[in-house]
Amino acid sequence: MSIVTHLLNAAEPWVAFRALQDLAGYELTSPAVQTIRQNLLAHPLVTGLIDEMQDWPGTVLNSHKSAGQQYHKLAFLADLGLTREDADFSILSAALERSQSLDGIFRLPMLISQAHGGSGQLDYAWALCDAPLLLYSALKMNLVRDRQLAIRAVETLAAMVRDNGWPCVVSPELGGFRGPGKKADPCPYASLIMLKLLALTPAGRISPAAHAGVETLLRLWAESQNQHPYMFFMGTDFRKLKAPFIWYDIVHVVDVLSQFPIARTDPRLQDMLAIMTGKADADGWYTPESVWQAWGAWDFGQKKQHSPWLTFCIERIKKRIQQTQGGLSTCL
């Protein structure tokens, strides 16, 4: 039995749900997918995440890398393919709309000290290392009524790109706050999640902004021994297999880049892919090499045995790239 067949029949409904669509090409409306969908929506781990959204936005944001933040959990629900039709997200939707700035960008409660350039007061604000992910989730899950306002927000953020990707940018509420890097440097993580946002649409995937972002991440990989903007390294820890997509690591970067036709045949992406696929066991499974403690209950939240979800993510990446090499250009 092939590894893909195992994934299509996985006991974990989040794996089977996405594998049927992204690896086997089943439509969402197909009976097989709908059966798994019901299992997915009834699973305690998934209902637990949905229930948490009733308390949006949760605790005050003090670290974008904190994997337990509600906006990271919301992005995972979006990655799974859930929408507002799958559960009661009315409280979440209303809270998101209340948090929107005049230009449509969603904001989160943040407390930045005066010593770090902030006001020292609790403010609703956005940074380019969270706003793209909120827009990604809201648009993918159809969570807001004024979709055009959210799309204009995407355009506003996309326009902030420079020749070397997206810089560290924050909303006016955060004053002069900036991460630990040079002003002229790109922020690798902001560039990564901006690309994730732009990958939602065919036009976004071939836009000049996307091209600049893709080239930035590929160049940072090629120059990873001496280029570490904003203290984002691409060394040993970066290369560890890890899920879900929270921060700046090899699986997350390759997953996003593989959604852009311009990147799929690039030798630098092929190099990253080879590092990942070289870690498969004899049966084709992948085992997490690093985990987020907040996700310990999930199949990817441990390092002792293979993870069906992590394996699915890498198999989907391989399929995207193989289809491009075979003359087809798709985005799953």
Nearest to 330 by CA among 280, 258, 266: 258
Q: How confident is the model at residue 300 (pLDDT cuts 50, 70, 90)?
A: very high
Nearest to 286 by CA among 238, 227, 242, 225: 242
Q: How confident is the model at residue 173 (pLDDT cuts 50, 70, 90)?
A: confident
Residue 217 vs residue 58, higher pLDDT: 217
Distance CA 257, CA 188 (A): 13
Q: How confident is the model at residue 330 (pLDDT cuts 50, 70, 90)?
A: very low
| 3-state SS assignment for residue 110 | strand
Mean pLDDT of 146-171: 96
Tally DSSP H helices, then E strands, for the chain: 15, 2
The encoded tokens of residue 98 equal 């209340």
Distance CA 135, CA 169 (A): 16
Residue 295's contacts (CB-CB under 8 Å, 6 or more residues apart) are: 67, 243, 244, 301
- Give 150-160 pLDDT, tens digit per residue: 999 999 999 99
Q: How confident is the model at residue 190 (pLDDT cuts 50, 70, 90)?
A: very high
CA 199 to chain CA centroid, nearest Å: 11
Angle at 120 between CA 119 and CA 125, to 5 degrees: 60
Q: How confident is the model at residue 10 (pLDDT cuts 50, 70, 90)?
A: very high
Nearest to 239 by CA among 255, 250, 223, 228: 250
Mean pLDDT of 105-133: 79
Buried b (16+ CB within 10 A) or exposed e, 288-308: bbebbebbeebbbbeeeebbb
Mean pLDDT of 54-82: 89
Give yes or no for a contact between 271 and 45, defined as CB atoms under 8 angstroms apart.
no
CA dihedral 65, 197, 231, 168 (to 10 degrees): -100
Q: How confident is the model at residue 331 (pLDDT cuts 50, 70, 90)?
A: very low
